[in-house]
């Protein structure tokens, strides 16, 4: 059964006159969409500077609630899982993005907070070179980082190549759609989509059933592909296109962006070459390059006698908050900053400062994708 928070989140997303950013402000201020509806009539007491337009949007909610309940009934029939922004199941990486959707719809059972998430994107009209590089890259990831979740957009070209190669190598893969889960576009990828769901991956969208195909929705979904990952890899791209938009979004979200280089005269590689030339992406030639750049190597490899000696040194004096974060980081090989914030109850900005101090003391190492690891043990 679809829980009430998901229903209220759907309704909030359907309120006329309420932008996504304003809706996000409301949810952040009150902690949940259900609380927004519970206190909608006294919104000024909670947000004194609430605009008249916002008050009007919260004044007439009947149609939105009715539509949300109908969507919930469809979700139950089709076994679609709704994930509200306030839920612990919501992807933490995406949640830190200010324009993250209020609710996500997932077909499949995969964990969207997987330890390693890699988005692989590229042109729809890829070359044999691009297809070969993508296939080899994913196959090597299976060997080097088998638990990684591969994310793409189920489009023609590089997207579907990434999905299919992940399936061939037994890796979970998620397709982020620009429409509701009642359809698959392009339809020729339906069999691939079905296999993705069946094998432990899935299909993800912010759009309700019945949403018409719209060019702008394909652009908007790029922010999910960009925000949900640790690393965004551009395999091939022309001088303009959705892949470059996604790469720019990923960089803006603080994600690590990588690009495969191509021939100077190859139209399919102009975008990647420009990203590298302008220092907007790290040059990538193999999966090994990405693993090294992200700091995802096996921590037991490459240990030196000098490193062991350093670990045996006494810690400098730590305050209570620093000790708390050190203890939390010792429980896993590494943790995402959002997970640290959630577990510690300390604000994001404060956690960032503490981690920076610990890094300066040589206790913590910042990895790619806003993840941190202990490098010296108590």
C-alpha–C-alpha distance, residues 344 and 376, integer Å: 20
C-alpha pair distances (Å), 217 with each of 102, 161, 194, 203, 313: 15, 22, 22, 16, 54
What is the domain extent for residue 143?
A: 117-294
Specify the pLDDT at position 360. Answer: 84
The reply to whether 108 falls in a domain is no
Give yes or no for residue 378 having a pLDDT over 80.
Answer: no
The confidence band for 376, taking pLDDT boundaries of 50, 70 and 90, is low
What is the rounded CA–CA span in Å between residue 19 and residue 33? Answer: 14
For the stretch 223-253, pLDDT in tens is: 999 999 999 999 999 999 899 999 999 999 9
State what percent of residues in the chain have pLDDT above 90: 68
Same domain? For 289 and 343 the reply is no
Alpha carbon distance 366, 358 (integer Å): 10
206 and 288 fall within a common domain: yes
Let me know whether 265 and 338 are in one domain: no
Q: Do residues 154 and 278 share a domain?
A: yes
Q: What's the confidence (pLDDT) of residue 226? A: 97
Residue 202 scores a pLDDT above 50: yes
Q: Do 267 and 310 fall into the same domain?
A: no
Burial 103-139 (b: 16+ CB within 10 A, else e): bbbbbbebebbbbbbbbbbbbbebbebbbebbbebbe
Position 110 in a domain: no
Residue 337 and residue 255 share a domain: no
- Considering the domain architecture, whether residues 122 and 258 belong to the same structural domain is answered as yes
Closest CA to 369 of 291, 225, 248, 254: 254
Q: Is residue 306 over pLDDT 70?
A: no
Tens digits of residue pLDDT in 163-189: 999 999 999 999 999 999 999 999 999
Q: CATH number, domain at 338?
A: 1.10.10.10
Question: Would you state the pLDDT for residue 316?
Answer: 53
Q: Give the mean pLDDT of 9-18.
A: 94
Residue 98: inside a domain: no
Last residue of a domain, one of 28, 58, 82: 82
Residue 245 has a pLDDT of 96
Q: Is 189 domain-assigned?
A: yes
In a domain, 102, yes or no: no
**Do β-strands 117-121 and 149-152 pair in parallel, antiparallel, or remain unpaired?**
parallel
The total domain count for the chain is: 3
Picking from 294, 325, 352, the residue at the C-terminal end of a domain is 294
Cα 33 to Cα 22: distance, rounded to the nearest angstrom: 12
The pairing of strands 81-84 and 103-107 is: antiparallel
Q: Among 294, 315, 342, give the residue marking a domain's end.
A: 294
CA–CA distances in Å: residue 337 to residues 247, 340, 351: 21, 5, 8
Nearest-angstrom CA–CA distance, 315 and 292: 27
Q: Which helix (H) or strand (E) holds 44?
A: helix 43-46
Mean pLDDT of 193-209: 98
Residue 24 neighbours by CB distance under 10 Å: 18
Helix H or strand E encompassing 83? strand 81-84
Mean per-residue pLDDT, 309-333: 71
Position 311 pLDDT exceeds 80: no
- Asked if residue 101 is part of any domain, the answer here is no
pLDDT tens-digit series, residues 253-264: 989 999 999 999
Position 298 pLDDT exceeds 70 = no
Q: What is the pTM of this model?
A: 0.81
Q: 159 and 290 share a domain? A: yes
More confident call, 62 vs 45: 62
Specify the pLDDT at position 246.
97
Same domain, 252 and 313: no
351-360 per-position pLDDT tens digit: 988 998 898 8
Residue 96 included in any domain: no
HEC string of 258-327? EECCCCCCCHHHHHHHHHHHCCCCEECCCHHHHHHHHCCCCCCCCCCHHHHHHHCCCCCCCCHHHHHHHH
Cα(11)–Cα(35) distance, integer angstroms: 13
Could you tell me if residue 246 is inside a domain? Answer: yes
CATH number of the domain to which 232 belongs: 3.40.50.450
Are 64 and 150 members of one domain?
A: no
Q: What's the pLDDT at 169?
A: 97
Q: Do residue 134 and residue 283 come from a single domain?
A: yes
pLDDT at residue 377 tops 80: no
Q: What is the mean pLDDT of residues 63-90?
A: 96
pLDDT of residue 307 exceeding 60, the answer is no
Per-residue model confidence as pLDDT tens digits over 136-165: 999 999 999 999 999 999 999 999 999 999
Count other C-beta atoms under 10 Å from residue 199's C-beta: 16
Q: Are residues 177 and 123 part of one domain? A: yes
């Amino acid at each position: 059964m679809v829980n009430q928070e998901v229903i209220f989140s759907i309704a909030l997303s359907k309120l006329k006159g309420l932008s996504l950013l304003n809706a996000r402000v409301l949810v952040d201020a009150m902690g949940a969409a259900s609380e927004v509806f519970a206190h909608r009539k006294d919104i000024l007491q909670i947000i004194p500077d609430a605009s008249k337009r916002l008050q009007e949007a919260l004044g007439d909610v009947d149609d939105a609630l009715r539509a949300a309940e109908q969507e919930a009934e469809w979700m139950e029939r089709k076994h679609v899982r709704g994930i509200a922004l306030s839920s612990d199941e919501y992807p933490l990486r995406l949640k830190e993005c200010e324009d993250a959707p209020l609710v996500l719809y997932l077909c499949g059972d995969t964990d969207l907070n997987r330890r390693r998430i890699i988005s692989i994107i590229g042109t729809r009209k890829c070359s044999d070179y691009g297809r070969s590089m993508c296939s080899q890259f994913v196959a090597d990831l299976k060997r080097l980082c088998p638990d990684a979740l591969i994310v793409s957009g189920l489009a023609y070209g590089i997207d579907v190549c990434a999905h299919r190669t992940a399936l061939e190598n037994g890796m979970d893969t998620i397709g982020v759609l620009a429409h509701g889960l009642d359809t698959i576009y392009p339809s020729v990828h339906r069999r691939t989509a079905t296999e993705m769901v069946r094998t432990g991956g899935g299909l993800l969208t912010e759009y309700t059933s019945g949403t018409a195909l719209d060019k702008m929705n394909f652009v908007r979904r790029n922010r999910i592909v960009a925000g949900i990952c640790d690393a965004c890899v551009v395999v091939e791209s022309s001088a303009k296109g959705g892949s470059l938009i996604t790469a720019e979004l990923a960089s803006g979200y603080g994600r690590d962006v990588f690009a495969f280089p191509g021939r100077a005269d190859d139209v399919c590689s102009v975008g990647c070459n420009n990203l590298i030339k302008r220092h907007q992406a790290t040059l990538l030639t193999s999966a090994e390059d990405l693993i090294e750049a992200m700091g995802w190597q096996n921590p037991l490899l490459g240990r030196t006698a000098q490193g062991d000696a350093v670990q045996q040194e006494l810690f400098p004096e730590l305050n209570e908050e620093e000790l708390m974060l050190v203890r939390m980081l010792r429980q896993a090989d590494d943790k995402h900053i959002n997970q640290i914030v959630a577990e510690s109850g300390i604000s994001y900005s404060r956690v960032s400062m503490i981690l920076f101090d610990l890094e300066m003391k040589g206790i913590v190492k910042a990895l790619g994708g806003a993840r941190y690891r202990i490098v010296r043990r108590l």
